[in-house]
Amino acid sequence: MNNVRDVIRTTFVSFRPDLLYRNPVLLVTEISMVVSIVAVIFNGFFQLPFTADYRMFYISVIVLLFLTLLFANLGYAISEGQSKSIVDSLQKFRKEAMANLISGEDIVPVSSSTLKKGDTVLVTKGEDIPMDGEVIEGNAYVSEANITGESRPVLKVLGDSVTGSTHLLTDTIKVRVTSDPGETFIDKMISLVKKSSRERTPNEIALTVLLSGFTLIFLMVVSVLYAESAYIGLTPNMEFLIVLFICLIPTTIGSLLTAIGIASVNRMSSFNVMAKSGRAVESAGDIDTIILDKTGTITMGDREAKEFYPAAGVDRADFIRYCLACSQNDQTREGMSIVKACRRVLGDIANDEFQDYEFIPFSAVSKFSGIYKGDRYVMKGSLRALENKYGIKDLSIEGICKEISSRGGTAIPVAVEGKFVGVIEMTDMLKPGIRERLELLRKMQIKTIMCTGDDEVTAKQISYEAGIDEYVANSTPEDKYNVVLSEKSRSRMVAMVGDGTNDAPALAKADVGLAMNSGTAAAKDASNMIDLDNDPTKLIDIIFIGKQILITRGALTTFSFANDLSKYFVILPAVFSSFGFLGFLNLLDLTNPLLAITSALIFNTFIIIFLVPMALKGVRFKPSSVSELLKRNIYLYGIGGIVLPFIAIKAIYVALASFGVMW
């Protein structure tokens, strides 16, 4: 009920001229309504014929102009109401909680509102995470249902980001706070939705300028008609000219333009994607190159240790012990999977031999991780990285790696003190339906590029199975950035997805950068969209939504200008046939000029309310090439926009005449 009241209030508040100035079509419509009211009140001054029939005509003009503004404002108010609902739902989750602040050796209970960036807190099972942060120790399952709506808990490991007000379901983790009060993820989302609902996109601004130009042109045309009528001795009827002016300017698209812009951001929000601006949404519709990670985007992402292949002369149990040693402190999902697989074979052995070794975490630059003590080491990672780092080479190990890669798996060789001791085979399956979705991108003439840290053989096999256009094997963060630069140098619009700090430069450079909510703060700051569901494949859906938004604006613009063209050939002949010219163009035989004008104005008013749902929901979108979409627009909304006014205005004219309205 409150939402309905807000929509009604916004609808009527939007009549204020200081709010309409950004939409010239609606502003001149309101001015025309005011002029009509003044002309009726002071009809003697304006020399208007004021018989009973004319009086009803003038009143109907005023009412229809009011309804035109009302329906236009209603579309805007509904889209604003949707934005307010999103903000209200986010504000419900913004709550204060107690936090266990780690201060030196002590744990101090404090309010979450007092936490600041850089603080470290301890969160235990059953507690809410007090503030946005990054996991620096431990791993646990977190419920993000209040943010994403997804009931399934999410595993958070070392380096993952967590969102304030989400709930810890298992274990204990240490979190480093990454935001100050008022700058949390929820705070930013609230701010972004409020901001985006009032921010106009470049296309919207360009279309507004075009509509302003048409409005000015027709204002000059009507002014000339007024002057010419007076010159040839006719008494110019101001109401005729006002209605003629309103029917000729593109009121349809002018009325829906703002609603389309706001609804586009709302549509992304309802899809659990927060767009930082309308420009980002608009850019999604123009994308013609998409850069995808392999793991988690094209494949399932949860790579698991499948098999252990010891090198010649190496005992299998010894090799698995080495695998356990270099992985037991590795809190990545891959590392945890390897430990789990090793434990299945070895049981709960202590592995004390490597107790004093120091751990080296995996990085995208080094491409390996493991343990070392002095010059002794046990490392796992990329074959080339280990060969280059330690100057070792083994043709049999390379053969095992190629064999694993040829079947789409990931080979992780293990090196110990100057030699390879074996290879771990990691498996990862293609996401169900990914090939079909990528085929839809190809139909839209969108180029796909896969960046993966895997070797050439694996990258080639996966790209073939998934239907990827191009791939970059042994990819580094710099490679992603260079791919973005390379594509943009060809004047292509680029989209990419990322979640790590090392993805931030490429995310910032891409036209559409989608960061995961579970990603690092740097990645989220660099991107212009954030996915609350942490689903990298959603970038494909975002492009579909962006295309639909552009198609909707294009379809309604085409329809608006097409039906304006029809109204020229309906109204002008009917009006000027009584003066003895243009009568031969009166194809609909509208013999009563007043009734013809009224019929046209009724159509002009009520077509807006029928198009509001289309503006808010978007037109039906079928992935296809630009030329096919253009043809569909022309046939359906261009020709349809020309034919419909002829049929509708004639039907309204006949209906009014049958009810005895013959002023």
Query: What's phi and psi for 408, nearest 5 deg?
Result: 85, 5
pLDDT score of 235 more than 60: no
Q: Are 612 and 75 in contact (CB under 8 A)?
A: yes
pLDDT at residue 454 tops 60: yes
pLDDT-based confidence at residue 121 (cuts at 50, 70, 90): very high
Strand partners, 304: 427
Residue 33 has pLDDT above 60, yes or no: yes
* Type of residue numbered 574: A
Output the pLDDT for position 1: 47
Cα 146 from Cα 144, distance rounded (Å): 6
pLDDT beyond 80 at 424: yes
pLDDT in tens, 515-556: 887 777 778 888 888 887 777 778 788 888 888 888 888 888
The full DSSP string for 200-218 is PPHHHHHHHHHHHHHHHHH
Classify burial at 101, counting beta carbons within 10 Å of its beta carbon; exposed 0-12, middle 13-18, buried 19 or more.
buried
Backbone angles phi, psi at 123, to 5 degrees: -120, 125
Domain 274-299+430-543 homologous superfamily, CATH = HAD superfamily/HAD-like (3.40.50.1000)
Q: Indicate yes or no: pTM above 0.85.
A: no
pLDDT at 233: 52
Q: What's residue 412's pLDDT? A: 93
pLDDT for 84-93, tens place per residue? Answer: 766 666 666 6
Residue whose C-alpha is closest to residue 113's, from 9, 53, 183:
183
Percent of the chain scored above 70 by pLDDT? 85
State how far the alpha carbon of 503 is from the alpha carbons of 127, 235, 508, 524, 579, in Å.
31, 71, 9, 10, 71
> DSSP string of 318-334?
HHHHHHHHHHTT--SHH
In the predicted structure, residue 252 carries a pLDDT above the cut 70: yes
Query: Is it the case that residue 580 has pLDDT exceeding 60?
Result: no
Considering only 155-169, 357-371, 618-632, which range has the smallest mean pLDDT?
618-632
Structure tokens at 592: 């009563």
Residue extents of the structural domains in the chain: 19-69+87-94+185-256, 98-183, 274-299+430-543, 305-424
pLDDT band at 653 (very low <50, low <70, confident <90, very high): confident
201, two tokens: 């996109």
State the Rg of the chain over Cα. Answer: 33
Name the range with the highest mean pLDDT among 195-199, 246-250, 573-577.
246-250
Neighbours of 109 (CB within 10 A): 8
Q: H helices of 315-408, where?
A: 316-327, 333-346, 383-390, 395-406
Give percent of the chain with pLDDT exceeding 90: 13
- Distance, CA of 429 to CA of 440 (rounded, Å): 21
Which range has the worst mean pLDDT, 271-280, 406-415, 466-475? 271-280
At 202, is the pLDDT very low, low, confident or very high (cuts 50, 70, 90)?
low
In this prediction, residue 469 has a pLDDT band, given cuts at 50, 70 and 90, of very high
Nearest to 582 by CA among 598, 592, 570, 565: 570
Mutual angle of helices 278-286 and 251-270, in 10-degree steps: 90
Give one DSSP letter per residue of 455-466, joined into a string.
-HHHHHHHHHHH
Cα dist from 356 to 324, 377, 418, whole Å: 15, 12, 20
Look over the chain and give the mean of its residue pLDDT values, rounded to a whole number. Answer: 81
Q: Can you identify the CATH homologous superfamily of domain 305-424?
A: Calcium-transporting ATPase, cytoplasmic domain N (3.40.1110.10)
Q: 482: which residues sit within 8 A by CB, 6+ positions away?
A: none
pLDDT band at residue 327 using 50, 70 and 90 as cut-offs:
very high
Q: Tell me the fold of 98-183.
A: 2.70.150
Give the pLDDT of residue 317: 92
For the beta sheet containing 140-143, the strands, ordered from the edge strand earlier in sequence to the opposite edge, are 154-156, 140-143, 167-168
- Identify the residue with better confidence: 454 or 100: 100
pLDDT band of residue 196 (cuts 50, 70, 90) is: very low
Residue 197 has pLDDT above 60, yes or no: no
Distance in angstroms (rounded) separating the CA atoms of residues 441 and 420: 42
Alpha carbon distance 618, 636 (integer Å): 15
Instruction: Give the model's confidence band at 3: pLDDT under 50 very low, under 70 low, under 90 confident, else very high.
Output: low
pLDDT at 425: 93
Which residue has better confidence, 398 or 253? 398
Kindly report the length of the chain. 663
Gap between the Cα atoms of 79 and 262, Å rounded: 6
Over residues 591-633, the pLDDT tens digits come to: 777 788 788 888 888 888 888 888 878 777 777 776 777 788 7
The residues annotated as belonging to the active site are 293
What pLDDT is recorded for position 92? 64
The pLDDT of 148-168, averaged and rounded, is 77
